[in-house]
Amino acid sequence: MSKAIAHTAEISWISEFKTLTKHRLSLSVVFSSVAGYFLGAERFDALTLTLLFVGGYAMVGASNAFNQIIEKELDALMNRTKNRPLPSGRMSVNTAWMIAVSLTLLGLTLLYLINPVTAFFGGVSIFIYVAIYTPLKTKTPLSVFVGAFPGAIPFMLGWVATSGSFGIEPGTLFMIQFFWQFPHFWALGWWLYDDYKNGGFFMLPTGKRDSGTALQIILYTFWTVAISIIPVFGVTGDLRLTIFSAGIVLALGLIMFFFAIRLYQKRDTKSAKQLMLASVSYITLIQIVYVIDKIWRVWL
């Protein structure tokens, strides 16, 4: 019986850890870093990739843990977050602090072992997310703009891990994910508007689910797609894209653009949810297209 209880407790702890670090979000962010790594790598290095994967998860997980510590009381006011470990009382704040600090130290150490520049950007990411973005979420819609900076770092971080420096190539990857976050988070903010309002969060640029917000979503969707195909013109250094792959990226962008226009036309939560899901699919699929294109051009 004691073994069964211990096993159950272990499973429960793992579950709480996954929730505290938002493991699905963290893994999706790490996926971006891994994609950036393959785009920048001249040869495959299993050690570097492992350090990037584990270190990246630790940094994102730490950011999410610090975020939940700061927003513990606000999370208790929203349906989608009230059952998280801290507001539900299943985990103490001290335990969460220990996990967050440990993950931060682990993440910075592993990224530093890759190279100091990678660790620097990892540190900048967690600082902006925790110290600036999180407090601003309840004060101004500009928090989305601030949050877009740490949110855009992972895609470029993989390239920096292979090169040890920042240039036009990781800069382009940064800009793609930077502009993408606006339609993504505004669609999410529109869809969960009432829940965010209960928590006192300001997510939409106009503060309302109106035509002004919908129009800005369309504009930022356009810029996201436009920047995503720039490498086909040969102006982004070693980051290139064939015409065929650029066509696929453009087609995926037009699908996302379609849902952005639909939200402008209907201005309902269903359309916002559809756009949010389309944006997730877009950023994931174009990263896969970029990597396959690189493999086809260089490694085969």
Question: pLDDT tens-digit profile of 6-45?
Answer: 445 455 878 899 999 999 999 999 999 999 999 999 888 9
Question: Are 41 and 189 within one domain?
Answer: no
Distance of alpha carbon 242 from alpha carbon 296, whole angstroms = 10
pLDDT at residue number 13: 79
Are 182 and 300 part of one and the same domain?
yes
Do 74 and 205 belong to one domain? no
pLDDT band at 300 (very low <50, low <70, confident <90, very high): low
69 lies in the same domain as 19 = yes
101 and 194 housed in the same domain: no
Give yes or no: residues 36 and 129 share one domain.
yes
- Predicted confidence (pLDDT) at residue 97 exceeds the cutoff of 70: yes
Domain boundary among 164, 190, 213: 164
Amino acid at 19: T
pLDDT of residue 6: 43
Name the domain count of the chain: 2
Are 8 and 68 within one domain? yes
185 in the same domain as 124? no
Q: Supply the range of the domain harboring residue 288.
A: 167-300
Residues 229, 102: one domain? no
Q: State how far the Cα of 279 lies from the Cα of 71, in Å rounded to an integer.
A: 26
Last residue of a domain, one of 108, 139, 164: 164
DSSP secondary structure letters along 31-96: HHHHHHHHHH-SS--HHHHHHHHHHHHHHHHHHHHHHHHHTHHHHTTSTTTTTSHHHHTSS-HHHH
Using pLDDT thresholds of 50, 70 and 90, give the confidence band for residue 5. Answer: very low
**pTM across the whole model:** 0.90
The contacts of residue 296 (CB under 8 Å, 6+ apart) are 242
Distances 63 to 25, 53, 97, 171, 291 between C-alpha atoms, Å: 11, 15, 11, 22, 27
pLDDT tens, position by position, 79-92: 888 999 999 999 99
Which residues contact residue 113 at a Cβ distance below 8 angstroms, ignoring those fewer than 6 apart? 51, 55
Same domain, 232 and 265: yes
With pLDDT > 70 as the criterion, what percentage of the chain qualifies?
A: 96
How far from chain centre, in Å, is Cα 183? 13
Whether residues 140 and 172 fall in one domain? no
Q: Does the pLDDT at position 195 exceed 50?
A: yes
198 with 220, same domain?
yes
CATH code, domain carrying 88: 1.10.357.140
Query: What is the model's pLDDT at position 4?
Result: 45
First to last CA, the chain: 56
Instruction: Name the region of 78 (left: φ>0; alpha: ψ -120 to 50; beta: rest).
Output: beta
pLDDT band at residue 48, thresholds of 50, 70 and 90?
A: very high
Least confident of 56-60, 61-65, 80-84: 80-84
Residue 160, sorted as left (phi over 0), alpha (psi -120 to 50) or beta, turns out to be alpha
Q: Which of 147, 164, 181 is the last residue of a domain?
A: 164
Helical axes 23-40 vs 143-163, angle rounded to 10°: 40
